[in-house]
């Protein structure tokens, strides 16, 4: 066989043989850490990823851990995501973000979202967060005061309001302080009630009855359904700063848009997977806020909702 024919045969073989130099695309591993259940986070986050070309089980793999309201489980879950080799960890609500940051100083962490991340020390600044944490701020502490303003519209004669919050949560102090500042101008006396988790709800609501509390503001890091159910059973108007509280049976919620938060988190993941450093990606702040009023709960409590409030609500549950 002459040299020219040999080279032709070798070239043809190269066309059909595997090309070891062409490496398979890496499947990125995304850890997700939630203090509550997976919804509505999961649906909105996955939709945001899909819009950016990421599909779980195809070019990404998502490891989700949800504490179902038991904040004490978060450190162990965060450590597990680190052991699994997550390329990025998405954490929703301040306790989950704090647990993730305590578990790793190197894996990028996306807040989806966290309340007052600057005040709680999660980031150095909004423009250049530093460290390994970036993502979205929920402005949760600031919204505590706005929620009390709405509560005053609904209950013009009420005097005593409780703030139900987690004991071990870096957001608790600014959340309670913002509520107390707003209460001074609204003629509310604020009674903070701190709990370790949902297991202490029965005691907390019994304490509210004893102290003749007339309304309660529930921190968003706490389980929504159990709190809403106990408030309704005790005929206590209750609000929080997350939409899912109102849909779970709370009287109302005034909060940053969940779609903006959870779909927005996907955009941060995309930036990190494309090589940007968390320390250099500015932290986003909410631009959309939603007032959701539960008219069914209001009727059960015998509350006549103000017409002006209903007119400006983004959603009325009937």
- 174/32: higher pLDDT: 32
- 132/8: higher pLDDT: 132
Query: Widest CA span of the chain, in angstroms?
Result: 103
pLDDT band at residue 5, thresholds of 50, 70 and 90?
low
pLDDT digits (tens, 9 = 90+) for 167-184: 988 889 999 999 999 999
Q: How confident is the prediction for the chain on average, in pLDDT?
A: 91
Q: Is the pLDDT of residue 191 over 70?
A: yes
CATH superfamily of 28-138+257-287: Response regulator (3.40.50.2300)
In this prediction, residue 11 carries a pLDDT of: 47
- For residue 152, which phi and psi values (nearest 5 degrees)? -65, -35
Between CA 119 and CA 125 the distance in angstroms is 10
pLDDT band at residue 189, thresholds of 50, 70 and 90?
very high
pLDDT digits (tens, 9 = 90+) for 255-276: 999 899 999 999 999 999 999 9
> Rounded to whole angstroms, what are the CA distances from 310 to 154, 238, 291?
11, 17, 9
| pTM, two decimal places | 0.81
Q: Where on the phi/psi map is residue 160: left (φ > 0), alpha (ψ -120 to 50), or beta?
A: beta
Domain range summary for the chain, segments of one domain joined by +:
28-138+257-287, 140-256+290-317
Q: Where on the phi/psi map is residue 283: left (φ > 0), alpha (ψ -120 to 50), or beta?
A: beta
- 289/10: higher pLDDT: 289
Q: Is the pLDDT of residue 243 over 80?
A: yes
- Measure CA of the first residue to CA of the last residue in the chain; give whole Å: 86
Between CA 143 and CA 240 the distance in angstroms is 9
pLDDT digits (tens, 9 = 90+) for 36-63: 889 999 999 999 999 999 999 999 999 9
Domain 140-256+290-317 class in CATH = alpha beta
SS3 259: helix
Q: Is the pLDDT of residue 254 over 60?
A: yes
In this prediction, residue 25 carries a pLDDT of: 62
In this prediction, residue 24 carries a pLDDT of: 52
């Amino acid at each position: 066989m002459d040299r020219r024919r040999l080279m032709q045969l070798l070239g043809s073989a190269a066309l059909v043989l595997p090309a070891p130099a062409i490496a398979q695309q890496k499947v990125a591993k995304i850890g997700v850490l939630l203090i509550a259940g997976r919804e509505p986070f999961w649906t909105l986050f996955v939709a945001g990823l899909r819009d950016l070309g990421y599909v779980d089980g195809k070019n990404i793999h998502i490891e989700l851990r949800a504490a179902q309201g038991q904040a004490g489980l978060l450190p162990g879950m965060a450590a597990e995501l680190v052991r699994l080799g997550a390329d990025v960890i998405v954490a929703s609500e301040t306790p989950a973000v704090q647990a993730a940051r305590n578990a790793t100083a190197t894996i990028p962490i996306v807040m989806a979202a966290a309340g007052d991340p600057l005040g709680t020390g999660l980031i150095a600044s909004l423009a250049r967060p530093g460290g390994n944490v970036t993502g979205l701020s929920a402005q949760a502490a600031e919204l505590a005061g706005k929620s009390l303003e709405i509560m005053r519209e609904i209950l013009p004669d009420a005097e005593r309001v409780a703030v139900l919050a987690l004991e071990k949560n870096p957001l608790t102090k600014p959340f309670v302080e913002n509520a107390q500042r707003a209460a001074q101008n609204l003629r509310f006396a604020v009674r903070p009630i701190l709990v370790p988790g949902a297991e202490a709800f029965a005691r907390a609501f019994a304490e509210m009855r004893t102290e003749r509390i007339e309304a309660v503001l529930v921190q968003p890091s706490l389980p929504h359904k159990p709190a809403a159910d106990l408030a309704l059973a005790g005929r206590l108007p209750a609000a929080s700063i997350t939409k899912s509280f109102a849909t779970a049976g709370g009287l109302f919620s005034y909060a940053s848009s969940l779609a903006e938060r959870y779909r927005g988190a996907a955009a941060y993941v995309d930036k990190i997977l494309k090589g940007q450093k968390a320390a250099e990606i500015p932290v986003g702040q909410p631009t959309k806020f939603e007032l959701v009023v539960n008219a069914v709960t209001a009727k059960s409590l015998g509350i006549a909702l103000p017409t002006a409030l209903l007119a400006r609500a983004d959603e009325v549950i009937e």
